[in-house]
Chains A and B, each alone.
Chain A
């Protein structure tokens, strides 16, 4: 089955700097890669996702890149702000016409230093 590895497990960056979180997946059939943000004590929420037919996607300060050949995908946050402090999860899934199983990485705790 699918396995998703995520690193680093913790990341501390200066406010205003960029943060990068990397993930690898094992199943070459995976075709959908979402990223979720979970603030302390809250539920995870989708922040950005990418499909396997796209190499990069941006949404304001957040971007995700996908390298299908290497089975790598990454989250990039630019101009980090205090509200970016949270745990971030990558995930991979195979999307069919019905439900797909989403397998999550183990998470990255991002801290933004003032």
Chain B
């Protein structure tokens, strides 16, 4: 049981390049999330998906797109990377019911640098 996995772990892009961050979970969770983490800013929600086939904007969606490919996978795409998108990106998943309503299980993160 791998939990939440993310690829790649590290990435360096030039301004204007595009890339897709991949996330997968094997816990049969309905909900998936993308966050970015900047020093002193905590975790900010970019997009989330309540269930397969649905996506919604979070706090900081500009410059990003997402795809909920199936129940397991939720990808984040940067169409034209900018230095302001340099950050650590975390994917998370959660389910409902059980003792913790909405415990978020995080992936290991992707460290992205945009030059």
Q: List A residues at the B interface (Cβ < 8 Å).
A: 1, 6, 9, 32, 34, 36, 43-46, 49, 51, 89, 93, 95, 97-107
Contacts and interface: CB of A to CB of B under 8 A. Distances in A.
Given A43-B90, A101-B58, A103-B59, A34 B103 contact: yes
A49 B31 CA distance: 18
Nearest to A42: B108
Nearest to B58: A101
B74 to A, nearest CB: 12
Contacts of A99: 30-31, 33, 48-51, 94, 96, 102
Interface in B34-70: 35, 40-45, 48-51, 56, 58-59
Chain B interface mostly: loop
Contacts of A98: 30-31, 50-51, 96
B102 A32 contact: yes
Nearest to B51: A98
B80 interface: no
Contacts of B103: 34, 46, 49
A28 B92 CA distance: 25
Interface residues of B, number: 29
A104 to B, nearest CB: 4
A98 B56 CA distance: 12
Contact of B45 (A34, A36, A89, A103): A103
B1 interface: no
A17 to B, nearest CB: 25
A93 B102 contact: yes
Nearest to B43: A104
Given A49-B100, A98-B30, A102-B102, A43 B108 contact: yes
A97 B30 CA distance: 11
Contacts of B59: 1, 103
Nearest to B108: A43
Q: Which 6 A-B pairs have the closest CB atoms?
A: A99-B50, A99-B31, A43-B106, A106-B42, A104-B43, A98-B50
